[in-house]
């Protein structure tokens, strides 16, 4: 079974045991990566202030609906849904909190950026249908809270 994995180190590390068990290399796919920072924060110095600014931005964004975010974020969401919708075989996707919410929200018709709180290393099962994406099973929810 193919494995798509976000380019970030933590997701590649999460995928390694499955890759070893199945003797298959995961395909690094940037479009299943983490929600990027907004353009004005992308070039900020990699320091505590930049991280704090991203965290403030995320706290705000995670409370919104997709109608209430910038165009570049909707474009990121559409690219993610495009790569998921293009799969022709069962595929494991190792990705991130917001990306999982994109797929689940699309499947359930939820317009909120966050409609589900997947826990670390939980697994959510989705099915591609002629009409889009269907939730087969939601993974274990965590205690992650947006404040």
* pLDDT tens-digit readout, 10-39: 999 999 999 999 999 999 999 999 999 888
- Mean pLDDT of all residues in 49-61: 87
Domain ranges of the chain: 3-137
Spatial contact of 104 and 110, defined as CB atoms under 8 Å apart: yes
More confident site: 144 or 17: 17
pLDDT for 146: 53
Comparing CA positions, the residue from 117, 113, 34, 40 lying closest to residue 80 is 34
Q: What one-character-per-residue DSSP string does 9-47 give?
A: HHHHHHHHHHHHHHT-PPEE-GGGSPPPPPHHHHTS-SS
In this structure, are residues 43 and 132 in contact, taking their beta carbons and an 8 Å threshold?
A: no
- pTM of this structure: 0.88
Out of 3.10.105.10, 3.40.50.1240, 3.40.640.10, 3.90.1010.10, which CATH number does the structure's domain 3-137 have? Answer: 3.40.50.1240
Q: In the numeric block, which tokens belong to residue 52?
A: 């704090």
Is the predicted pLDDT of residue 147 greater than 80, yes or no? Answer: no
Residue written as token pair 């290399």? 25
CB-CB contact of 111 with 105 (8 Å): yes
């Amino acid at each position: 079974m193919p494995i798509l994995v976000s380019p970030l180190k933590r997701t590649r590390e999460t995928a390694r045991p499955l890759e070893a068990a199945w003797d298959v290399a995961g395909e690094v796919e940037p479009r299943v990566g983490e929600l990027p920072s907004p353009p004005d924060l992308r070039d900020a110095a990699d320091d505590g202030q930049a991280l704090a600014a991203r965290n403030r931005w995320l706290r705000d964004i995670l409370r919104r609906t997709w109608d209430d975010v910038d165009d570049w974020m909707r474009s990121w969401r559409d690219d993610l849904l495009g790569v998921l919708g293009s799969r022709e075989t069962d595929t494991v996707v190792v990705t991130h909190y917001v990306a999982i919410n994109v797929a689940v929200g699309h499947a359930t018709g939820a317009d909120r950026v966050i409609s589900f709180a997947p826990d670390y290393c939980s697994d959510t099962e989705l099915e591609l249908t002629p009409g889009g994406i269907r939730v087969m099973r939601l993974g274990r929810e965590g205690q992650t809270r947006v404040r």
